[in-house]
Structures are given as C-alpha cells and as structure tokens.
C-alpha cells in the first residue's frame, strides 16, 4: 500500500436515472452518480445510440465488460463477453471481427447467449453482419459505422453504448468500495500488472514463449472473475472457466468439463494457490500444458511434483487476485 486510506471518506451521490427495476423485477432500482467522478469510462460518458431501457443488471455487466477490457488494454483488438458479472468469452485478435469471432465461438458460446459484449475497436459493417446473427443485450464500443448501425438497428431492443475512450481502456485508480451491513469496506485499486518477469518457474520444464503469452492473458481474465476461479486459455483466447466456486478442485472440474476436447494444449491460471495436487491433476489429465498460480501453499511441492510427473510447466506469480 502506497499511502494510508483516509480517516474520513465523503461521497456525494445524485440520482442519474431509475432503472426498469432492481436486480430482480420485484425490486426498485436506480443509478446514482458520484458528482466528483472524473473517470472517462463512467457510464455517463457513454452515448446511448439505440435500444430498450437499460436495466440494473445491464449496468452491472457493462461495468464488468469495461473492467475486463481495461485489463486487456488497447494495444491489440479485444472483445469480451460478460454473463452474470464474469467473462464467458474474451479474445485478442487481428481485428475486431476476429476478436469477436474467437470470443464467441472459441469460448463458452452457451453462456454468451444474452450477454454483454465489449470491444476496444470500431464496429464496422462486416462485424455487424456477424453480430446480427447472435443474441446479446448490450454492445459497448468506441465507435460504430453508420452502415453497421443500419444492420444492428434491425435489432431495436439491442442497447448500443459508445465511448471513444474504449479504444484505449485503462483500469480505474479510484478506491474500491463495497457495502456491508453498517458500513463500507474500502481498499486501494488493484493496479498490479503481472508480466513475464513476474512468472517464476517452479517445475523442471519451463513454459514456451506462446504459453507465457497465454498464461498472462489467462491471469488477466482470472483477475476480473469471481473467486474461486480457474481459467483455461489458448492463443490469447478464453476457452473456458470455472468461477465462483467454494473449492478450487471443483473450479478445475467445471473448467475442463465446459471445455471438453478444447482443453487440449491449453494453459490454466488460478486466482489462488492449490491447497492440494488434485486440482492440477484434473487440469493436466484434460490436456492443460502449463499452469500459473500464486504459490504459497504448504503443499506447493506436491503441486510441483504432479506437474513434473506429467512433464508440464508450472509458474508462480507470488501474488493473489481474489475477487468477491
């Protein structure tokens, strides 16, 4: 922590608009804005081009899309698909069309149905033609061509939100605040970016260059997914994930079950250490060839041994990325 958190924290909120309802239809809901906020990625800085009235859950998932894009950055075309707060599709591509195709078709296309899509590149006519064949509720992008809008306008309920800043998305530097009974939990934002230099090989076999790229990509998806999380990735594309589970072994089982044969030759990232070697063994037997995890378990040596046994690589990040 670079500095102490403030002794007194004042936040002034003003209602921006009422949502159709809250998280569920029997609840009232509204969006309140921090009047001191200067974040260029705040919802009020997005222009609504078309679509139905935006919902409470649409806003939550749109925020998750912005968060995920901010981790992936703006150097490469990126597409993310969010469902119930977690990425179910994500990819870096040659262009926006390629990134969208990989995010939807190579990831969890079953979960992508009805989700929220975020892009860091312009939506053109060719991409819109492909998008028009899919069902999703919200599209966030830095810009959309007139010809693309004409195609997507055939889906009048689709919410389209545009913000030019999305071309180079950046993580928020604001304090992270969560409400609990009687008060708020406050922490500094997690701006730590894991790089290749942070990966410490723990096994006899070291990850190949392409595997390192995928491990770093998988770690970024882990960071924005609800704990416990296991992410499988290949070619800087999210293949599948097991998220929000109370034990890590079931996260591994869920991730490989969803991936099926697509788990072969992937890499895996874990947001926390493996307390037992059973999790890595599930991943390895499904076809995972490299694993990234924080390390720090009293049974790290057992996890390392299982990887050495099957001749795959494991690296430690020495940092955890829980998200609750």
**Tell me, what's the pLDDT at 317?**
98
**Rounded percentage of the chain residues whose pLDDT exceeds 90:** 96
Q: How far apart are CA 50 and CA 203, in angstroms?
A: 52
* Domain map (residue ranges) of the chain: 13-167, 196-316
- pTM tops 0.75: yes
The class level of CATH for 13-167 reads alpha beta
Query: What are the backbone dihedrals phi and psi of residue 97, each rounded to the nearest 5 degrees, phi first?
Result: -60, -45
Structure tokens at 102: 């990989």
Average pLDDT rounded to a whole number, residues 277-283: 98
Q: For residue 1, is pLDDT > 70?
A: no
Are 310 and 284 in contact, with CB atoms under 8 Å apart?
yes
Are 101 and 116 in contact, with CB atoms under 8 Å apart?
no
**Rounded percentage of the chain residues whose pLDDT exceeds 70:** 99
Q: What is the pLDDT of residues 59-109, one digit of tens each?
A: 999 999 999 999 999 999 999 999 999 999 999 999 999 999 999 999 999
**Tell me, what's the pLDDT at 3?**
77
Angle at 233 between CA 195 and CA 193, to 5 degrees: 20
Question: Which strand (E) or helix (H) includes residue 183?
Answer: strand 183-187
Average pLDDT rounded to a whole number, residues 246-258: 97
Q: How far apart are CA 107 and CA 100, in angstroms?
A: 10
Given CATH 3.40.220.10, say whether it is the number of domain 196-316. Answer: no
Q: What is the pLDDT of residues 191-215, one digit of tens each?
A: 999 999 999 999 999 999 999 999 9
Mean pLDDT of the chain: 96
Q: What is the pLDDT of residues 159-192, one digit of tens each?
A: 999 999 999 999 999 999 999 999 999 999 999 9
């Amino acid at each position: 922590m670079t500095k102490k958190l403030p002794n007194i924290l004042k936040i002034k909120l003003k209602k921006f608009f009422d949502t159709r309802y809250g998280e569920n239809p029997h609840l009232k809901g509204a969006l309140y804005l921090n009047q001191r906020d200067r974040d260029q990625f705040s919802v009020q800085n997005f222009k609504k081009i078309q679509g139905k009235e935006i919902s409470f859950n649409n806003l939550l998932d749109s925020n998750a899309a912005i968060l995920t894009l901010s981790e992936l950055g703006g150097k490469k075309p990126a597409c993310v698909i969010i469902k119930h707060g977690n990425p179910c599709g994500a990819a870096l591509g040659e262009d926006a069309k390629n990134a969208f195709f990989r995010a939807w078709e190579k990831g969890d296309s079953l979960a992508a149905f009805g989700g929220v899509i975020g892009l860091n590149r312009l939506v053109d006519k060719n991409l819109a033609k492909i998008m028009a064949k899919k069902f999703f509720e919200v599209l966030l992008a830095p810009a959309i061509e007139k010809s693309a809008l004409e195609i997507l306008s055939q889906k009048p309920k689709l919410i389209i939100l545009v913000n030019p800043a999305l071309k180079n998305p950046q993580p928020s530097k604001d304090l992270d605040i969560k409400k609990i009974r009687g008060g708020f939990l406050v922490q500094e934002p997690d701006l730590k970016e894991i790089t290749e230099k942070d990966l410490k090989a723990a096994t006899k076999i070291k990850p190949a260059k392409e595997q390192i790229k995928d491990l770093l990509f998988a770690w970024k998806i882990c960071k924005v997914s609800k704990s416990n999380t296991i992410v499988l990735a290949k070619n800087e594309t999210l293949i599948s994930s097991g998220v929000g589970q109370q034990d890590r072994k079931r996260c591994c089982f869920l991730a490989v079950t969803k991936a099926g044969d697509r788990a072969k030759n992937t890499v895996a990232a874990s947001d926390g250490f493996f307390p037992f070697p059973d999790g890595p063994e599930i991943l390895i037997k499904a076809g995972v060839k490299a694993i990234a995890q924080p390390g720090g378990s009293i049974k790290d040596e057992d996890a390392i041994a299982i990887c050495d046994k099957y001749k795959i690589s494991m690296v430690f990040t020495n940092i955890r990325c829980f998200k609750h």
